[in-house]
Amino acid sequence: MESSHKLFPAVAILLLLVVATEVVPAQARECETESERFNGLCFVSENCAGVCGAEGFTGGKCSGLKRRCMCTKEC
């Protein structure tokens, strides 16, 4: 009887982990690639996103110290 009391917390935690992984949907990863067509420093992400859209990406944002336009899409 004593061993079942020690086993219960471990089983309860395992059950919670299984339920939590089933409830939370998998999030899509976002991949970034530097734009090939954007010229100059990137300060306005909306401009970057427009250029990236023309390159076939789903979005874009200004990034880094060098202010590069990084195009984004789901991996």
Partnered with residue 74 across adjacent β-strands are 30
Q: Is residue 67 within 8 Å of residue 43, measured between CB atoms?
A: yes
Residue 26 pLDDT: 61
Domain range enclosing 16: 2-74
pLDDT digit string, tens, across residues 53-74? 999 999 999 999 999 999 999 9
Domain count, the chain: 1
pLDDT band for position 28 (cuts 50, 70, 90): confident
pTM, two decimals, is 0.63
Question: CATH number of the domain that 60 lies in?
Answer: 3.30.30.10
Question: 3-class SS at 32?
Answer: strand
